[in-house]
Each structure stands twice: as C-alpha cells, then as structure tokens.
C-alpha cells in the first residue's frame, strides 16, 4: 500500500458538516439542528432557511441545549447539537453524561471550532480537554474526523448509529486525503501509510501533518506507519496492536497531551503491548498566539512529529 496523497487545496470541515446534515435532513424529517445562538459559527444559516422549524435555537444556554436535545430524541427526533466545543463539552458535561450517555439518548453532539481554533482568544475558548474528559464517559462514541470526506462520513454514520455520539469538528483548514474505495466505520481506524520502523497514530487536524512527517522520515530511510484513529471511543484495538508491533508509537492530536487519543492508546499498550511512546499535544493552557502559531510552537506539526519519531527511534535502537 502506498501512502495516501493529500490535496493542495485546504478545506474548512464545517462546510462538509453542514452540507451533510442538510442532505440528511432532506431525506429524514427526524433530523433537527440545535444551537446555542451559534447559527453563524456553525454555518447553519442555510439550514435555517431551508428548515426553519427544525433549527432550534435555545439561546446562550448550553446545559439546556443538551437536555432539550435529549428530550427531542425522546420525542423521536435525531438532534445534531452544534456549539463551540469548549462550551458544549465543559458547560454541559453532566448533561452529556446523564441525559445523553447514561440515558442512551440518540443525540449527536458536534463540537465546533474545537482544539485551538480560537487562537488568541485563549484557553477559555480552546477545546483541548474535550476528548480527555468525554473519553471518561461510558457509552459515548467519540469521533475526530481528519478531512471533509471523513467529516461527512462521520455525520452519516452518527445519524445511522443508535445512541449518543460526539464529533469534534475543526475549522482549521485541512487538505482532503485522496482515498480510493474507502469507507468510514465507527470504531475502525484507517492505515494511511504502511511502515515497520514506527507508527504514528493521529486524528483530526494532525493526520495530514502525520503524513507529511512520514514523508520527511522516509527521506531519511525511516518507514513510518501512519494510522488515522478517527474514532477514539470505541477504539480500534487491532489497529493499536498492529502499530505496537513496530516497537514505537508517536501519537498526535489537537488536544491535551494527556487523557485523549494518546492516553487511550497508552492504556491499551500498558495492558497488552508495552511499547515506547511519545504523545504530541498541548501541555496545558496555551499562551497567547494564533492557532497556527500555537500548533507550531507546541510541535503539533510535521516537524514536531518527525522530531519525536527520531527521538523515539533513538531510544528504541538503544534498547
């Protein structure tokens, strides 16, 4: 298998998100959108024009947004809840836990502009903890799509899935990955590049950076496997086992460097396949800086990933 190519154009995954929700809504009257005054930031203006009765704006009230959505699900609707990831997850955490996950409500939670997309607005608006704390919630599916195609597929899969789903949707531009005949299945990782020297497991906005890092490593004769672990819960253990077989794993995610994707993989490895790891992510509250600057500064970049890989291989060689 050769490596997957990436497009030269860059895309905002929110466009794929709203396009797909609207397509689904055309075919299925149960689909509704629920927002916390976030019609613009969720790009749902056209949805509102097309389905004025199916855009439910609760105002600036995230707890109510999630509880009302659980109620809409009880009434037979399939609500897609759109709110800035930081407020949707942190403010409404108990509603996500109790009203959605514990009650098995058919609610689709879409964390918009997640990660550090809000850049200079600072840590209050960054959603870097979302996967870490949602991963602690039982019976909640968590998906972090990598590009427009996967965002659209994740939305379709979420709509077809019976139960609560969280989808982390970035607005940082990403390229489209050129897959052929690919399909998205909840809980299945995709191997984008084969390699035996080490594995890079990434999701979301870090996937194309991981592919670029593998390209740079290949120039040095290092064969890096690249895995897109879009679903964090339930996680693809077979894919982790295959990655662990290389003897070294670098994880990369636009989130906290503990408790998220890297943490999930470390937990599996500690139980089954102890292997050296490096986890790329943010160490904590980010300082002032644009989203791009923060990503570069904290090594959430091709250079940062490749550097971590070389360091890890050095340790692997030293035994």
Partner 1 sequence: MAHREQLRLNAESDTTTLEKRAAHVSERAKWMRKRLLGMIVDAGQGHPGGDLSATDIIASLYFDILRIDPAVPRAADRDRFVMSKGHCTGALYSALAGADFFPEDELATYLKPLSRLNGHPNRTYLPGVETNTGPLGHGFPIAVGIAVAGQIDNADYRVFALTGDGELQEGSMWEAAMFAGHRGLGNLTVIVDRNRLQQGAGTEETNGLEPLADKWRAFGWDVVELDGHNVPALLAAFDDAVAPRTKPRCIIANTIKGKGVSFMQNQAGWHHGVPSAEQYAQALAELSA
Binding-site ranges for partner 1 (CB under 8 A): 32, 53-54, 56, 58-59, 61, 63-64, 67-77, 94-95, 98-99, 102-105
Q: Which is nearer to partner 1, 56 or 223 (CB)?
A: 56
Q: Which is nearer to partner 1, 6 or 68 (CB)?
A: 68
Residue 49, token pair as written in the block: 């024009």
DSSP per-residue string spanning 142-188: EE---SHHHHHHHHHHHHHSSS-EEEEE--S-EEEEE-SS----TT-
Residue 122, token pair as written in the block: 């600072």
How far is 163 from 101, CA to CA, in rounded Å? 8
Helix axes 237-244, 261-271, angle to 10 degrees: 70
Question: Which residue do the tokens 């109620």 mark?
Answer: 71
How far is 21 from 213, CA to CA, in rounded Å? 33
Minimum distance from residue 169 beta carbon to partner 1 (Å): 22
Minimum distance from residue 81 beta carbon to partner 1 (Å): 11
Q: Measured in whole angstroms, how far is the alpha carbon of residue 248 from the centre of its chain?
A: 23
Residue 46, token pair as written in the block: 């056209």
Minimum distance from residue 213 beta carbon to partner 1 (Å): 43
Minimum distance from residue 41 beta carbon to partner 1 (Å): 20
Minimum distance from residue 181 beta carbon to partner 1 (Å): 37
Q: Which is nearer to partner 1, 93 or 286 (CB)?
A: 93
Q: Which is nearer to partner 1, 79 or 255 (CB)?
A: 79
DSSP per-residue string spanning 196-255: SSEEEEE-GGGHHHHHHHHHHHHHTT--EEEEE--EEES--HHHHHHHHTTTEEEEEEEE
Which residues make Cβ contacts (< 8 Å) with residue 34, sequence separation at least 6?
56, 57, 58, 65, 68, 69, 72, 79, 80, 81, 82
Q: Which is nearer to partner 1, 67 or 203 (CB)?
A: 67
Minimum distance from residue 225 beta carbon to partner 1 (Å): 39
Minimum distance from residue 43 beta carbon to partner 1 (Å): 22
Minimum distance from residue 99 beta carbon to partner 1 (Å): 6
Q: Which is nearer to partner 1, 56 or 216 (CB)?
A: 56
How far is 129 from 86, CA to CA, in rounded Å? 8
Q: Which is nearer to partner 1, 100 or 206 (CB)?
A: 100
Q: Which is nearer to partner 1, 52 or 319 (CB)?
A: 52
Question: Which residue do the tokens 């064969």 mark?
Answer: 223
């Amino acid at each position: 298998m050769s490596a997957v190519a990436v497009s030269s154009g860059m895309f905002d995954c929110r466009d794929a998100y709203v396009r797909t929700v609207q397509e689904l809504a055309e075919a299925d009257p149960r689909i509704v959108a629920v927002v916390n005054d976030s019609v613009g930031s969720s790009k749902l203006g056209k949805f509102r024009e097309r389905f004025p009765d199916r855009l439910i704006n609760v105002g600036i009230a995230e707890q109510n947004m999630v509880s009302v959505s659980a109620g809409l699900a009880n009434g037979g609707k399939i609500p897609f809840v759109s709110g800035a990831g930081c407020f949707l997850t942190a403010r409404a955490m108990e509603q996500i836990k109790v009203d959605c996950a514990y009650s098995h409500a058919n609610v689709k939670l879409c964390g918009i502009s997640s990660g550090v997309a809000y850049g200079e607005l600072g840590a209050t608006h960054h959603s870097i903890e979302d996967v870490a704390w949602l991963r602690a919630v039982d019976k909640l599916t968590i998906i972090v799509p990598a590009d427009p195609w996967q965002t659209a597929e994740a939305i379709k899969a979420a709509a077809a899935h019976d139960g609560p789903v969280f989808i982390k949707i970035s607005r940082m531009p990403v390229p489209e990955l050129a897959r052929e005949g690919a399909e998205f299945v909840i809980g299945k990782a995709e191997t984008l590049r084969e390699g035996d020297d080490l594995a890079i497991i990434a999701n979301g906005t870090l996937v194309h950076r991981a592919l670029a890092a593998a390209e740079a490593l290949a120039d040095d004769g290092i064969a890096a496997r690249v895995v897109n672990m879009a679903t964090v819960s339930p996680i693809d253990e077979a894919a982790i086992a295959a990655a662990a077989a290389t003897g070294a794993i670098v994880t990369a995610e636009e989130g906290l460097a503990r408790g998220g994707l890297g943490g999930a993989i470390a937990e599996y490895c500690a139980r089954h396949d102890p292997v050296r790891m490096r986890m790329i992510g943010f160490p904590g509250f980010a300082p002032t800086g644009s989203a791009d600057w923060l990503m570069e500064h904290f090594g959430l970049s091709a250079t940062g990933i490749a550097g971590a890989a070389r360091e890890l291989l050095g340790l692997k060689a030293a035994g």
